[in-house]
Structure 1
Amino acid sequence: MAANHSTAKRETLNLRVKPEDRELIARAAQLLGKTRTEFLLEAGRRAAQDALLDRALFNVGPENYARFVERLDAPSAPNEKLRRMMTTKAPWD
C-alpha cells in the first residue's frame, strides 16, 4: 500500500548553497510555479531515478538478445517526419 503524502512522515534535508545558486533555483522554481523545495525535490528525484535506471541490468536469453541486436542493426524504414527534421535548418543556426 502506498504511503499517503498528507500523513507520511517528512524529514529535513539541509543544504548549504552559494547565494547565486539559491537565486538561480528560486528564479527557475518561480517560473514553473513551484516552491524551491518542490523544485529541488522534483529535480533530485528525477536525477536519482535516472542514476538508478542507468545501472539497471536486463537479463534475456540468447534468442531474445539476438533479435534485439538484429533490430538495432536493421536500417530504419523511410519516415517523412524524420526526413523533414533532418533537412530543416535548426532555429539556432
Structure 2
Amino acid sequence: MATQTQRKDHPLSMRLPEADLAIIDRAARLRGRSRTDFVREAAVRAAEEALMETGLVRMSEDGFAAFMAVLSAPATPVEAMVEILRRPPPWETEREPG
C-alpha cells in the first residue's frame, strides 16, 4: 500500500485589484518566476525587514558602555573612502577622443 505524504504548505488567499495583479504578473515574468513564487518571496522579504526593524538588541552593561564609547569617540577617516571622495566626479573628467 502506498503511503501518502502530508503536505506542509499552507494556502493563502488574497483579493487584488486587476491593476495590482497585472503589475505583479509583469514583474514575475521579468524575473522568470511564477506569480506565487514572486508574491511569496516579496512577502517574506517584507516580513523579514519589518522584524529586523523592530528587533530587540540585548547586551550587558559593559557591552553597552563599550558600544556608547565607540559611538562617542571622534570619527576616524577611512583612507579608501577619503581617496574615493577626492576623485573628481566622472562628469567632470575630460574624456579622450575615441
Q: Which deviates more, 50-59 or 19-28?
A: 50-59
Structure 1 residue ranges without an equivalent (≥5) = 1-5
Distance 2:85 2:26 in 1: 33
What is the 5 A alignment of 1:24-63? 24-63=23-62
Distance 2:35 2:90 in 1: 33
Deviations 1:40-88 (A, max 9, x none): 1011111111212222112211211111122233314323246526866
Structure 2 residue ranges without an equivalent (≥5) = 92-98
Aligned residue pairs, count: 86
Identity %: 29
CA shift for structure 1 position 20: 1.1
Distance 1:35 1:47 in 2: 18
Distance 2:90 2:19 in 1: 32
Query: What TM-score do you get using the length of structure 2 for normalisation?
Result: 0.68
Q: CA RMSD in A?
A: 2.8
Distance 1:79 1:71 in 2: 19
With over 3 angstroms needed to count, the CA separation of the structure-2 counterparts of 1:35 and 1:90, relative to structure 1, is farther
